[in-house]
């Protein structure tokens, strides 16, 4: 499957340790079968209450040639 340049992808999932996760991605280059991609991120903010915690992260995805192929934002909500 090829994603068009500039497409947006939203993923919401639930697991036993993470209550909610949101990933918004903007693909700026094509990724093809056989490419190796590596995501990385920098925490922008974090917040906690007595029950829940949130971490907001800026992310970038690079391919095997260290070229930026996607950027985005990740929000993770988890039990405190």
CATH classification of the domain holding 40: 3.10.129.10
pLDDT band at 79 (very low <50, low <70, confident <90, very high): confident
Domain assignment of residue 2, yes or no? no
Domain assignment of residue 1, yes or no? no
Q: What is the per-residue burial (b if ≥16 Cβ within 10 Å, else e) of 8-42?
A: eeeeeeeeeeeeeeebebebeeebeeeeeeeeeee
What is the predicted pLDDT for the residue at 20?
54
What is the predicted pLDDT for the residue at 24?
86
Residue with token string 């992260």? 57
Q: Per residue in 7-26, pLDDT tens?
A: 444 444 445 565 556 788 89
What's the structural domain count of the chain? 1
Domain assignment of residue 3, yes or no? no
Domain assignment of residue 42, yes or no? yes
Enclosing domain of residue 75: 8-79
Query: Which tokens in the block code for residue 29?
Result: 């280059």
Q: Per residue in 25-70, pLDDT tens?
A: 899 999 999 999 998 989 899 888 888 888 888 999 999 999 999 9
Model confidence, pTM: 0.67
């Amino acid at each position: 499957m090829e994603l068009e340049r500039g497409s947006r992808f939203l993923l919401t999932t639930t697991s036993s340790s993470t209550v909610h996760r949101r990933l918004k991605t903007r693909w700026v280059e094509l990724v093809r079968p056989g490419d190796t991609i590596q995501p990385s991120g920098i925490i922008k903010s974090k917040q906690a209450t007595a029950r829940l915690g949130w971490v907001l992260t800026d992310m970038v995805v690079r391919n095997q040639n260290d070229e930026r192929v996607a950027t985005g934002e990740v929000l993770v909500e988890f039990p405190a």
